[in-house]
C-alpha cells in the first residue's frame, strides 16, 4: 500500500513569492491533515478535512494561507505571499475513520521543506 | 487549551542501558500516540494507547498510559544505536465535535556505542 505522498520535497523561494504544496493521501483515507513543523518542535495542526469539508481550520492563518481538497482526495496548501517566518516543514497526514467514530492513527508523508529567503 | 509536555527534551544514553521518556498532558484525553521521527523523514506511528492502564510493547520499546495521572511513558530497554531518533507523544482530545491531536515538543534520543 502506497503511503502519503507529498511534493515538492524541498522548495526555496524569496519572500513575498507564492508557493504551493500538494498531498496525495493513502487510498481510502477520508480524513486529511496539514501540519506545520518548525525546527526542533512538534507538528502543529493547520487544517483538517473530512472528505471535501474543512472541519477544523482554526489554526490556519487565513490572510496568507489557503487550502483545498477537491473531490475529497488530493489536497493543496498555498501560501501567498510567503514570509520569512513561514520557513518550516509542511506535513500532510491522513487517517481512516473507524467504527465507533474515532479517527484512528495518522499516517504522515515525508513533508515539504520550505525555505523563504 | 491542551498542553503536552515531554521530558527530557534531549537524551544521550549508552547502548545497553535502560531509560524512560515521559509525556504529561494537561486535560483528560481520549487517546495517546507515540511517534518516531528520523532526521529529514516522516513521523512513524509506534503505539496507540486507548485506555487507562494500556501497555504496548514492540521490541525494545514499551509504552504505557495512566489517564488518572495524565501521564504516558515510553521505556527503552537495552538501547541500541538504531533507536536514535526523535520521539513524539501526541494526545487526542474530542473538543466540541472536533478531534484535536496535540503533539509534544519531542525527545531527541541519541544512543552512543
The cell numbers describing A73, all together, are 482526495
What span, in angstroms and rounded, lies between the C-alpha atoms of A43 and A115? 17
pLDDT at B50: 83
| Chain B CA closest to residue A6 | B42
Q: Does the beta-carbon distance from B105 to A40 stay under 8 Å?
A: yes
Chain B residue numbers touching A91 (CB-CB < 8 A):
42-43
Chain A residue numbers touching B102 (CB-CB < 8 A):
45
- Which of B23, B36, B42, B106 best tests the A interface by mutation, with the highest count of A CBs <10 A? B42
Chain B residue numbers touching A102 (CB-CB < 8 A):
30-31, 92, 99
The cell numbers describing B55, all together, are 501497555
- Which of A6, A55, A105, A109 best tests the B interface by mutation, with the highest count of B CBs <10 A? A105
Spell out a b/e string for A58-89, using b for 16 or more CB atoms within 10 Å of the CB, else e.
eebeeeebbbebeeebebebebeebeeebbbb
pLDDT at A7: 97
Predicted confidence (pLDDT) at residue A70 exceeds the cutoff of 90: no
The alpha carbon of residue A110 is apart from the nearest alpha carbon of chain B, in Å, by 4
Stated length of chain B: 113
Q: Does the beta-carbon distance from B48 to A105 stay under 8 Å?
A: yes
**C-beta of residue B73 within 8 angstroms of C-beta of residue B20:** yes
Q: How far is CA A24 from the centre of its chain?
A: 10
List pLDDT tens digits, range B18-40. Answer: 999 999 999 877 689 999 999 88
pLDDT at A73: 92
In the block, which residue shows the cell 515521559?
B22
pLDDT at B23: 97
List pLDDT tens digits, range B81-92. Answer: 999 999 999 998
Amino acid at each position: 500500500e502506497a503511503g502519503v505522498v507529498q511534493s515538492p520535497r524541498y522548495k526555496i523561494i524569496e519572500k513575498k513569492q507564492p508557493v504551493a504544496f500538494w498531498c496525495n493521501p493513502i487510498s481510502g483515507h477520508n480524513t486529511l491533515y496539514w501540519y506545520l513543523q518548525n525546527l526542533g518542535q512538534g507538528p502543529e495542526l493547520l487544517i483538517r478535512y473530512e472528505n471535501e469539508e474543512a472541519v477544523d481550520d482554526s489554526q490556519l492563518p487565513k490572510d496568507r494561507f489557503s487550502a483545498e481538497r477537491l473531490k475529497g482526495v488530493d489536497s493543496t496548501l498555498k501560501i501567498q505571499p510567503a514570509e520569512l517566518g513561514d520557513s518550516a516543514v509542511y506535513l500532510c497526514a491522513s487517517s481512516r475513520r473507524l467504527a465507533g467514530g474515532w479517527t484512528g492513527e495518522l499516517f504522515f508523508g515525508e513533508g515539504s521543506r520550505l525555505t523563504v529567503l | 487549551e491542551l498542553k503536552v509536555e515531554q521530558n527530557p527534551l534531549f537524551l544521550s544514553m549508552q547502548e545497553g542501558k535502560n531509560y524512560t521518556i515521559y509525556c504529561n498532558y494537561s486535560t483528560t484525553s481520549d487517546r495517546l500516540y507515540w511517534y518516531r521521527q528520523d532526521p529529514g523523514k516522516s513521523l512513524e506511528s509506534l503505539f496507540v494507547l486507548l485506555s487507562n492502564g494500556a501497555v504496548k510493547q514492540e521490541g525494545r520499546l514499551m509504552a504505557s498510559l495512566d489517564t488518572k495521572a495524565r501521564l504516558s511513558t515510553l521505556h527503552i530497554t537495552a538501547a541500541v544505536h538504531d533507536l536514535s531518533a526523535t520521539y513524539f507523544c501526541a494526545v487526542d482530545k474530542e473538543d466540541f465535535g472536533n478531534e484535536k491531536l496535540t503533539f509534544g515538543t519531542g525527545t531527541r534520543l541519541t544512543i552512543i556505542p
